[in-house]
Chain A
Amino acid sequence: MSETRSYPLNAWYAAAWDTDIGKTLLARTICDTAVVLYRRRDGSVAALEDACWHRQAPLSMGRLDGDNVVCGYHGLVFNGDGRCVRMPSQETLNPSACVRSFPVVERHRHIWLWMGDPALADPSRVPDLHWNDDPAWAGDGRTIHAKCNYRLVVDNLMDLTHETFVHGSSLGNDAIAEAAFESTHNERYAYITRWMKNIDPPPFWASQLGKPGKVDRWQIIRFEPPGTVTIDVGVAPVGTGAPEGDRGAGVNGFVLNTMTPETESTTHYFWNFCRGYRLGEQRLTNEIRDAITRVFGEDELMFAAQQKGIERNPHRGFNNLNIDAGSLWARRLIQQMVEAERPRSRLAAE
């Protein structure tokens, strides 16, 4: 059971965008667990296991009554903490009647759930996606239901050489596949930093910069386990000092990605692109969002096809290259979290 699980449970996972959750019942599977989500009258979000204590009917098939969920089968009522508050045809409440409730934090435009030991749910450990609701940045994103294990999406984002081949018409050019990169890491993050100096910008960045000529282009990828990847991207006219730290003449954006395992072979992939320029232009926000939706559609096809290939030959494994350093550091950080949760028998520990 726990031998094959690829994700840790003691972590915050984005379950939804803040706008996905209202005063109505939303069913969503997170880490192979069926969850029902809704907002209480005070606006706070409740997350309960989507199975009635009584006979396992999905609570999401019931209805919301104020802050409580009424099971759609026999009418047991549960509050947002998962405590049963009403039972049919008896004067008392069965003291064992409760459904599991999950710790919830709403932050950076996402609803985060903690699927592991609630005692360890520390809100300060919510992954850093602050650009999502920072007024110095503007943008919008979408959700992809990726038909693959979440680590395949992490792999994709940690190695942007794929842009040259998957997204050749928009983001990629030969410069990415040719440029050297640096792989670094610490206890919390794994990074891939790539500077492409004195190059012709790809079409997307040429139009964002709006100036002719060669540019210095950067991609600084940061992975935060188990499933968050932020990518600091941009271009600046060559020779204006961007590699030395002055990006003032350039344009800068952040590709914000957080991947939540739905099952071992499917993923809720939430992305956003936030830019630090032309903040007031909603038209640009929509244009970029729609353009990236098309670009990421190319990745979705690859994810599903790759997952199928892996399932066909589950024991073959990967052959790794130098370009996979980022993905391998990411997987190592994930593995450390998974292993920390593995129950240890005292004999094994000795």
Chain B
Amino acid sequence: MADEALLQPATVVAVRDLTPTVRSLEILPADGILPFTPGSHIAVQVCINGRPDRRHYSLLGRPEDGCYRIAVRRMPHSRGGSIFMWDLREGDALAVSAPRNAFPLKGGGSAYLLIAGGIGITPIHAMAMALADAEAPFRLLYGVRSRSDAPFGDALATRLGNRLELVVEEEGGLIDMAAAFAPLPDNGEAYVCGPMGMLEAALAGWRAAGRPAERLRFETFGNSGHRAAQPFIVRVPDLGREIRVEANQTMLDALDAAGVEVLSDCRRGECGLCNVDVVACEGELDHRDVFLSEGQKAEGRQLCACVSRVAGGSVTIRTGYRPL
């Protein structure tokens, strides 16, 4: 859904480093917080190259904490959001939306499997705590690069005990989706938040297990791909345009800045409104959306401009525009 939520003035009341690359921020709106449930996020107004934009962050903790708590990873190829957030200090003013939940936890379920990768732990953390409080049966698989880069790793281990399984990539760990899903009862749900590779493995494993699609819940903010973000060229022959997309810019923003009209709504690779036809491609398409099916992605004839990219080279596209 297009983010039209009203923004409220707020203050950063605490800043704390969780790991060398992950920092938590506590934010207190002037009018107090609104209630929220696990999986909720807020929009934060950021300023990038002097222009306002919005970024979405999952809420940690619970309303009783009396503030909104988020965690932000410093991204090496940030489009500007994480740099803005990392520049915030205690006492700084900012603007945030009311909480919204597009990743709600089912109440009263018989079994839950939570899977997090890296900073994807943020919504899963709130879910794990809520399920632990409710004494619901669940497991959390948490994939991290190294033990020193596992935000909340120690706190989760203390609270969850053997319900937490930390999978450390540096130590050769890899989440085996088939094995993870096997013990889950038929009516159990899995919740996934992590990088694109992890999500795709989960989607493929879930389908292979013959489980219904709606019981695999996931959230992606469309900010990770199979390849590092690089600049590339997009050509629009119908409009006679050739546009450079910077590494820290989305194709949709580059098209928009160049005056090429493309519809969009969610801007996180879910709704498919910004989907354009691929006429030709030099370089590898890096699909970062969850709108196109695996088959459609393999065909390589469509691209969701809000999140997806080309890894080096160029792409020739057709928008909905048909010259008179």
Choose one: A95, A98, A100, A347; the contact of B218 (CB below 8 Å): A95
Residues of A within 8 A of B130 (CB): 119
Choose one: B34, B106, B214, B272; the contact of A85 (CB below 8 Å): B214
Choose one: B28, B37, B103, B271; the contact of A119 (CB below 8 Å): B37
Residues of B within 8 A of A345 (CB): 28-29, 31-33, 66-67
- Are B290 and A119 in touch, CB under 8 angstroms? no
> Nearest chain B CB to A340's CB is how many angstroms away?
11
* In the complex, chain B residues 61-115 whose Cβ is within 8 Å of any chain A Cβ: 63-67, 102-108
Residues of B within 8 A of A103 (CB): 107-108
Residues of A within 8 A of B141 (CB): none
> Nearest chain B CB to A129's CB is how many angstroms away?
22
A118 interface hit (Cβ, 8 Å): yes
C-beta contact mask, B126-140 vs A, less than 8 Å → 1, else 0? 000010011000000
Residues of A within 8 A of B162 (CB): none
- Are A94 and B270 in touch, CB under 8 angstroms? yes
B291 interface hit (Cβ, 8 Å): yes
- Are B107 and A94 in touch, CB under 8 angstroms? no
- Are B270 and A96 in touch, CB under 8 angstroms? yes
- Are B107 and A346 in touch, CB under 8 angstroms? no
Interface window among A26-34, A76-84, A195-203, A247-255: A76-84
With A90-B291, A92-B290, A343-B33: A118-B107 Cβ-Cβ less than 8 Å: yes
Residues of B within 8 A of A84 (CB): 214
> Nearest chain B CB to A270's CB is how many angstroms away?
24
- Are B34 and A79 in touch, CB under 8 angstroms? no
With A98-B104, A119-B133: A347-B214 Cβ-Cβ less than 8 Å: no
> Nearest chain A CB to B127's CB is how many angstroms away?
10
Interface size class of A (residues with CB under 8 A): 20 to 34
- Are A121 and B107 in touch, CB under 8 angstroms? yes
C-beta contact mask, B296-314 vs A, less than 8 Å → 1, else 0? 1000000000000000000
> Nearest chain B CB to A182's CB is how many angstroms away?
38
C-beta contact mask, A260-289 vs B, less than 8 Å → 1, else 0? 000000000000000000000000000000
B215 and chain A: residue at smallest CB distance: A83
- Are B290 and A343 in touch, CB under 8 angstroms? no
A93 interface hit (Cβ, 8 Å): yes
> Nearest chain A CB to B8's CB is how many angstroms away?
12
B239 interface hit (Cβ, 8 Å): no
- Are B33 and A101 in touch, CB under 8 angstroms? no
- Are B108 and A121 in touch, CB under 8 angstroms? yes
Q: How far is the CA of A98 from the CA of B29 in the complex (A)?
A: 28
- Are A343 and B1 in touch, CB under 8 angstroms? no
Residues of B within 8 A of A85 (CB): 212-214
- Are A344 and B66 in touch, CB under 8 angstroms? yes
A246 interface hit (Cβ, 8 Å): no
- Are B35 and A343 in touch, CB under 8 angstroms? yes
A91 interface hit (Cβ, 8 Å): yes
Q: How far is the CA of A98 from the CA of B107 in the complex (A)?
A: 14
> Nearest chain A CB to B40's CB is how many angstroms away?
12
- Are B67 and A95 in touch, CB under 8 angstroms? no
With A92-B293, A95-B290: A343-B217 Cβ-Cβ less than 8 Å: no
A348 interface hit (Cβ, 8 Å): yes
Q: How far is the CA of A341 from the CA of B217 in the complex (A)?
A: 28
- Are B214 and A118 in touch, CB under 8 angstroms? no
Residues of B within 8 A of A341 (CB): 35
Q: How far is the CA of A81 from the CA of B105 in the complex (A)?
A: 10
B13 interface hit (Cβ, 8 Å): yes
Choose one: A91, A117, A119; the contact of B296 (CB below 8 Å): A91
With A92-B292, A98-B104, A119-B130: A343-B272 Cβ-Cβ less than 8 Å: no
Q: How far is the CA of A347 from the CA of B65 in the complex (A)?
A: 11
Q: How far is the CA of A79 from the CA of B108 in the complex (A)?
A: 15
Of the A-B pairs whose beta carbons lie under 8 Å apart in the complex, a sample of 27, sorted by A's number, is A79-B214, A81-B106, A83-B217, A90-B291, A92-B291, A92-B292, A93-B213, A93-B214, A95-B218, A95-B219, A95-B270, A96-B266, A96-B270, A101-B107, A117-B35, A117-B37, A118-B105, A118-B107, A119-B37, A119-B133, A343-B32, A344-B66, A345-B32, A345-B33, A345-B67, A346-B28, A347-B66
Q: Which 5 A-B pairs have the closest CB atoms?
A: A346-B66, A118-B107, A345-B32, A91-B293, A96-B102
Which B residues have a C-beta under 8 Å from some C-beta of A?
1, 13, 28-29, 31-35, 37-38, 63-67, 102-108, 130, 133-134, 212-215, 217-220, 266, 270-272, 290-293, 295-296
Given contacts A94-B291, A119-B133, A345-B28, 6 further A-B contacts (CB under 8 A): A94-B270, A117-B35, A119-B107, A121-B108, A345-B31, A346-B65
